[in-house]
Amino acid sequence: MGSFKERLERIRTRMSLATEACGRDAGSVSLLAVSKFHPSEALREAMESGITHFAENYVQEGMSKSALLPNATFALIGPLQRNKAKPALQYFHELLTVDRPELASRLSRLAEELRVCREIWIQVDLWGEISKVGGCPPSSVQSIINALGGSSILSLKGFMAIPPPGMTSAFSELAYFRETWQQRLGVRIQLSMGMSDDLEEAIKAGSDQIRIGTALFGER
């Protein structure tokens, strides 16, 4: 698969071809490097190519890696249990899996206590998947936003989603959902959708952030 640098180049090329093909600005989509289950040496190699922000699925794993890599920052993309809310806020700059009002109010209280500012993404599930990947139904979005408290301590950055595999209409449904909420709230809401295999479709539908693991770090 070559070096990290080569894999990164390939992803960047795919991203720029995809933005170009639909007339979007080359810099309008960000790349979140998903380093879960890869050792800290792999992250170190990535840092040599200028990547300093990594996504992890487990709070514990992010904590250990951040101890080893003080110059890296982390995003949480795995399900967040209530009892991990505090370390999640301490060790992650961005939380992408906030999907319950109770969790949002707990985070908001703890963030104030800890005096940290964090970026929050609400994980949405528009398809009623009773799955372990998480995500709230559309009917919970407003109460989660309320629970975040509208403060700048926890700022709402966007919606994150993991669509059911092979569901081709999912990305445009998410884009429409985002549009509705942007109009309702009058603020910009980003969309985090698209992974190694479907980043082109996600970018075409309007994704602002793709999350890439395998295509950057190799098989887990």
Ligand X SMILES: *Cc1c(COP(=O)(O)O)cnc(C)c1O
- Residue 14 found at the interface with ligand X (CB under 6 A): no
Which of residues 69 and 162 has its CB atom nearest to ligand X in the complex? Answer: 162
Taking the complex as a whole, the smallest distance from the CB of residue 210 to ligand X amounts, in Å, to 9
Nearest to 144 by CA among 122, 129, 160: 122
Q: Which of 162, 174, 202, 203 binds ligand X (CB under 6 A)?
A: 162
Contact range with ligand X by CB under 6 A, out of 14-22, 86-94, 183-191, 208-216 = 208-216
Q: Considering only residues 8, 15, 34, 95, which one is a binding residue for ligand X as defined by CB under 6 A?
A: 34
Q: Which of residues 85-144 bind ligand X (CB under 6 A)?
A: none
Structure tokens at 174: 């998410």
Distances (CA, A) of 16 to 19, 28, 59: 5, 10, 32
Q: Write b or e for each residue in 149-167: b if 16 or more Cβ atoms lie within 10 A of its Cβ, otherwise e.
A: beeebbebbbbbbbbeeee
Instruction: Tell me which DSSP letter residue 2 carries.
Output: -
The number of residues in the chain equals 220
Block residue for tokens 């700048």: 152
Instruction: Give the residue with the Cβ less far from ligand X, 69 or 215.
Output: 215
> According to the binding rule CB under 6 A, does residue 77 interact with ligand X?
yes
Residue of the chain from 47, 196, 201, 204 that contacts ligand X (CB under 6 A): 196
Residues of this chain that interact with ligand X (CB under 6 A) are: 34, 36, 57, 77, 162, 195-196, 211-215
